[in-house]
A and B are shown apart, each in its own frame.
Chain A
Amino acid sequence: MAGTARGLIEVHDFCLRYETMEGAVDAVSDVSLNVQPGEFVSIVGPSGCGKSTLLNALAGFLTPSGGTVTVDGEAISGPSADRGMIFQQYSLFPWKTVRENVEFGLKMKGVSRSERERRARTLLGLAGLTPFENHYPDRLSGGMKQRVGIVRALATGPRILLLDEPFGALDAQTRLIMQQILTNMWQRLKISVLFVTHDIDEAIFLSDRIYVMTARPGGIKAEVAVPLPRPREPSMTLSSEFLGLRRGLMSLIREESIRAMGGEVSLDSLKGLAINLEGQDLSAVL
């Protein structure tokens, strides 16, 4: 079952088009990328370029309008516990305790209660969550919630882990700790990770490779390898290598962000804004 390739993600000429009342929206067009087994790959790109759309297709929630999306050579036909996903929003079940949340995937697999409990305890221990195993999610901080989310997704032993801006809502300090915890777990479990983020530093710090996406309709603008050695330390963010990568990625993304803004902000929408804010017509001011 494990085979030689465990967690090889291949995306070829992937397109996704949303049908809406206003017409078809091309969210992603002709994206090709891959994640090798055990590799950590990030995607960065301007807001609305289709990063979540791509991850949702990989998770099995969306069917490609064109192209192919495969994991270990098999086309994706629907959501599965083989592909763990961490969402932009917190998604713990509020009516379950931390441990019950972590056990959920195993319960769905039909694992016995005692075995579930044992495995959940082990993973919670690794993530430093043992003292909170009987807490309900509403008593956890944001960082802890995402940590539980990651542990929950890993509990079923997925081949790949998809993360959609998981640390976007966390403060800088918590974010650093979470990055280290994630790196730690990834290295231990040797799974493939596809990580979406807005934060360039985060992408460099975590990844083996980074894909930069273009503004909508999203495509791949560049692919950047991160040759920093592992294990990585927070002090590396000050090294000249890191800063060089950062500068390069910054300029790539700035171009796209400006394009994204230019494409979306029309005079009409500005007019509406002016009326709302100042109570007078924009043309009168101009």
Chain B
Amino acid sequence: MEAALRQLPETVPALTLPAEAPAKAKAGPAPLPAVPTDRVARWLRLHRGQLRAMALGLVSIAIFVAIWQLLTVNRATFYVRFTNVPSPADVLDRAILAFHNPIFGEHIWMSCRRIVYGFTLASSVAIPLGLLMGRFQILREIVFPICEFTRPIPAIAWVPMAIMLWPTNEESIVFITFLGSFFPILINTLQGMATVDPVLVRAARCLGAREASVFREVYLPASLPQIFTGLTVGMGVAWVSLIAAEMISGQFGIGYFTWEAYSLVQYSDIALGMITIGVLGLGSSFAIRVLGRIVMPGGTAR
């Protein structure tokens, strides 16, 4: 923890430097120092909407925490009972303790690893399968019926079966995570393939593209936005499935931590676990959005 604190001052200037450097470089040779302030003003003008949204977001979170604090400190009861609910301050105390404890880090690490395994496996099977099913009707006709009747089964319902199927607990949890994210990714990839503009395919053919090239150069990029929608949804479902699986059969993992906190009457840890799950979920969908930006330059693909 101390090491992390000592690193902080080093990383902060390193992060802000690139943003300031070009402005300074321009201001140097230019006779008028108005250029950087002009750019700042322009940036502020163009991003006004986002800045307002961010400010409002912070305010609403603050209000939420304040209400939470009020309800818990006063032990409010009106049908819903806040008597045992920890206050934000309690949770903060526990969080500081937990972050000093390597066990808590281990819980987070285990959950993230399961997500990465399950989700990566699901995407690397569902995306190619969806692309091929979208392209070749025969394959679609063979595989789709199986999907249609396995899809409505929630991943959680697979827990007992998974425990029987796989030799270790770890594998069965990854399997549940895999199942949870598999179908959203597959269905969205299929949807993406179905909505590829046929005139683009014909244009490519007229320019000499053969089957494989049409697939790589038209079908794939044209479906990418929809594939990324599938990845985002799939990531959400992966977390839902993972947490449920961990609560039922886990040793370690943030879902297990949360359930364990309830059994051990550590009420603050319940909230801490929930918040951690929320933050991790948010972080992983953010990661997918960043990946999408990298894969689809210009943000123009439709």
Q: Are B301 and A85 in contact (CB under 8 A)?
A: no
Closest to A137 in B: B300
- Answer yes or no: B206 CB below 8 A from chain A CBs: yes
Inter-chain residue pair count (beta carbon < 8 A): 69
| List of A residues within 8 angstroms of B302 by Cβ | 94, 138
- Answer yes or no: A152 CB below 8 A from chain B CBs: yes
- Contacts of B210-246 to chain A: CB distance below 8 A: 210, 213, 217-218, 221-222, 224
Known: A59-B206, A95-B224, A152-B207. 8 other contacts (CB 8 A): A87-B199, A87-B202, A93-B200, A93-B217, A93-B221, A104-B204, A105-B207, A108-B209
Question: A91-122 toward B: CB 8 Å interface, digit per residue (1/0)?
Answer: 10111010000001100110000000000000
Nearest CB of chain A from residue B211's CB, rounded to whole Å = 11
Q: Are A80 and B221 in contact (CB under 8 A)?
A: no
Q: Which of A60, A84, A94, A105 contacts B301 (CB 8 A)?
A: A94
Assess A79 versus B218: contact at CB under 8 Å? Given A95-B296, A108-B213.
Answer: no
Give how many A residues have a beta carbon under 8 Å from the other chain's beta carbons: 27
| List of B residues within 8 angstroms of A95 by Cβ | 221-222, 224, 296-298, 300-301
Nearest CB of chain A from residue B212's CB, rounded to whole Å = 11
- Answer yes or no: B42 CB below 8 A from chain A CBs: no
Q: Are A81 and B207 in contact (CB under 8 A)?
A: yes
Assess A81 versus B208: contact at CB under 8 Å? Given A61-B202, A87-B199, A87-B203.
Answer: yes
Q: Are B300 and A80 in contact (CB under 8 A)?
A: no
Assess A89 versus B199: contact at CB under 8 Å? Given A104-B217, A108-B207, A108-B213.
Answer: yes
Nearest CB of chain B from residue A77's CB, rounded to whole Å = 13
18 residue pairs bridging A and B, Cβ less than 8 Å apart? A61-B205, A84-B206, A85-B206, A87-B202, A91-B199, A91-B202, A94-B300, A94-B301, A95-B298, A95-B301, A104-B207, A104-B217, A105-B207, A105-B208, A108-B207, A109-B208, A136-B300, A156-B208
Closest to A136 in B: B300
